[in-house]
Amino acid sequence: MNGSPTLTIDSLPFSQPGRFYRGNLHGHSTNSDGLWTPAEYIRQYRQNGYDFVAITDHCMEHYGYTITDTREFRYDDFTTLIGAELHPWQIESGSPWHLLAVGLPLDFEILRAGDTGASVARRAMAAGAFLAATHPNWYAFTVTDFETLDAADAVECYNGAADAASDRGYSWHFIDMLLHRGHRVGAIAVDDVHASGDYSDFMRGWVHVKADTLTPEALLRALKAGHYYSSTGPQLHHVELLGREKVVVECSPAEQILLSGERAGALRISGWGLRGAEFDLSDVESRWLRVTVRDEAGQRAWTNPVWLG
């Protein structure tokens, strides 16, 4: 696979200039199957401590292939990225593709005759979008499906709607399989909010993006460069590789801090109210590493998988 972000240890967000902005990259309004109007969607996130959102309505025939225009909801302290969920036909399981494209131009051509997942993904990325494969665990999306793509920026490691509706929210197993096969992908946590079910898919998963300003352009650049981490609760304040010997982690109070790589065993520290950890890499053999922090409530924060070579 080509064109995915390098995601080396130097692409971790923590030493990049700027500050972290919290955002939800995936959700639906009344322009597809969501309950909230775009204005209500924005109001809910803006009032609850978010700095930006994308509204990514299903671009399907029966919703009129609409890309929701959120430009009127951009303020000094809150902004939006234009996005969509794209559904070319079809993945191995017989479902349509669910491709998340954030940073799309409003005049993006949704569907061309003969389109496949690969051709739509290629077009969205050529148009500048941050492209992610969504909720693999929810729709039985396979590694074979993924490998038909020639590029992708990320895969959803957590999807709030899939968790709330089907107990299929977590997809780290899928990402680990991609990593073992050498695919360099980022990991995003999202709500996929619909606000329409008998379950809550609001404020369950989000990203913290490190950018120098709160503008759509700066956020998109940072996403494409891998300058973000994902969370369902805890915060990562700092993660750094010192020399090639030690990984240092600083975080909000945690019960467990883990460093995972290709082997089954993770390096880990457990305790009450942990605020950080240091991991010695001298016995670690892995092409890539990722850090997980788990808090008392069982919520997690994750770095992107970063490659050492």
Chain residues that interact with Zn ion, rule: CB under 5 A: 85, 98, 134, 192
74 is written with which tokens?
């951009």
Task: Write down the least CB distance from residue 32 to Zn ion, Å.
Answer: 8
Percent helix, strand and coil across the chain, each to the nearest 5: 20, 35, 50
If the CB atoms of residues 85 and 153 are measured against Zn ion, the closer one turns out to be 85
Task: Write down the least CB distance from residue 83 to Zn ion, Å.
Answer: 10
Taking the C-alpha atoms of residue 246 and residue 195, their distance in angstroms, rounded to an integer, is 43
If the CB atoms of residues 24 and 134 are measured against Zn ion, the closer one turns out to be 134
If the CB atoms of residues 11 and 68 are measured against Zn ion, the closer one turns out to be 68
If the CB atoms of residues 184 and 204 are measured against Zn ion, the closer one turns out to be 204
Q: Which residue is nearest to Zn ion (CB)?
A: 98
Q: Residue 225 in 3-state DSSP?
A: coil
Largest CA distance in the chain: 57
Task: Write down the least CB distance from residue 87 to Zn ion, Å.
Answer: 8
If the CB atoms of residues 160 and 261 are measured against Zn ion, the closer one turns out to be 160
One-letter identity of residue 61? E
Could you give the C-alpha distances from 306 to 1, 127, 135, 181, in angstroms and in order?
17, 26, 21, 14
Task: Write down the least CB distance from residue 28 to Zn ion, Å.
Answer: 6
Per DSSP, 83 falls in state E
Q: Residue 296 in 3-state DSSP?
A: coil
Task: Write down the least CB distance from residue 100 to Zn ion, Å.
Answer: 7
